[in-house]
């Protein structure tokens, strides 16, 4: 009887301990993260070509570029909010979408943003520096949140950005984003 009671107490203690441990166990939310980053990537593939067209067409102005940049800010803010509302992923290196699949998409986003704005100068778009500087907090917040929701995912993005980060450095308006990417 005493042994049974001791066992019951032990079981209850073990149960109380096991639950918080279980709750802390992260699930693989890579599918959700992949969807969020893919939606962002699709939007970047609309705005960056628009910016290049405006530039080639000599219709790049504070107004036309500002509109595209506003849409980019909205897209990065939406990605940040969606990632913030996604449980931290345990990730996977084997199950699709893998951690690397997600980093590759975000790396593509970052490369397009870095190179797509590099042809614009204040000679063409007088407020260029101010307009582009508005992107920095939104892009860096999305990158930092991605690295939280899928821990360490920015490490591979950093590697993918080794070449293109020079454009961010040259534009001079990306201190927060460069830091968020580990540069």
Q: How far is the CB of 23 from ligand NAG (least distance, A)?
A: 5
Question: Which residue in 80, 4, 91 sits closest to 37, CA to CA?
Answer: 80
Q: How far is the CB of 145 from ligand NAG (least distance, A)?
A: 11
Q: How far is the CB of 162 from ligand NAG (least distance, A)?
A: 14
Tokens coding 182: 């580990």
Place of tokens 């969606």: 82
The H or E element that residue 98 is part of is none
Q: List CB contacts of 117: < 8 A, sequence separation 6 or more.
A: 48, 51, 132, 167, 171
- Supply angle C-alpha 40, 44, 47, rounded to 5: 140
Q: Could you give the CA distance from residue 27 to residue 24 in angstroms, rounded to a whole number?
A: 9
CB of 29 or CB of 43, closer to ligand NAG: 29
Q: How far is the CB of 1 from ligand NAG (least distance, A)?
A: 36
CB of 32 or CB of 171, closer to ligand NAG: 32
The answer to whether the beta carbons of residues 107 and 157 sit under 8 Å apart is yes
CB of 7 or CB of 49, closer to ligand NAG: 49
Q: How far is the CB of 148 from ligand NAG (least distance, A)?
A: 8
CB of 9 or CB of 162, closer to ligand NAG: 162
CB of 87 or CB of 126, closer to ligand NAG: 87
Per-residue CA distances from 19 to 7, 15, 145 (Å): 18, 6, 27
Q: How far is the CB of 25 from ligand NAG (least distance, A)?
A: 6
Residues that bind ligand NAG (CB under 6 A): 23, 25-27, 53-54, 57, 59, 87, 147, 151-152, 154, 180, 182
CB of 3 or CB of 22, closer to ligand NAG: 22
User: By three-state DSSP, how is residue 107 classified?
Assistant: helix
């Amino acid at each position: 009887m005493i042994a049974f009671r001791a066992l019951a107490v032990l079981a209850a203690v073990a149960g109380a301990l096991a639950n918080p441990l279980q709750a802390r166990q992260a699930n693989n939310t890579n599918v959700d993260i992949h969807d969020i980053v893919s939606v962002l990537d699709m939007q970047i593939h609309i705005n960056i070509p628009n910016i290049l067209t405006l530039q080639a067409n000599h219709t790049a102005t504070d107004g036309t570029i500002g509109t595209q940049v506003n849409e980019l800010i909205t897209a990065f803010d939406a990605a940040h909010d969606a990632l913030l509302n996604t449980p931290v992923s345990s990730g996977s290196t084997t199950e699709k979408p893998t951690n690397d699949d997600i980093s590759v998409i975000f790396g593509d986003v970052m490369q397009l943003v870095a190179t797509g704005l590099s042809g614009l100068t204040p000679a063409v778009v007088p407020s260029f520096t101010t307009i582009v500087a508005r992107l920095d907090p939104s892009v860096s917040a999305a990158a930092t949140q991605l690295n939280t929701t899928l821990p360490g995912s920015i490490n591979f993005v950093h590697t993918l950005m080794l070449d293109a980060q020079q454009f961010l450095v040259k534009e001079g308006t990306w201190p927060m984003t460069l830091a968020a990417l580990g540069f």
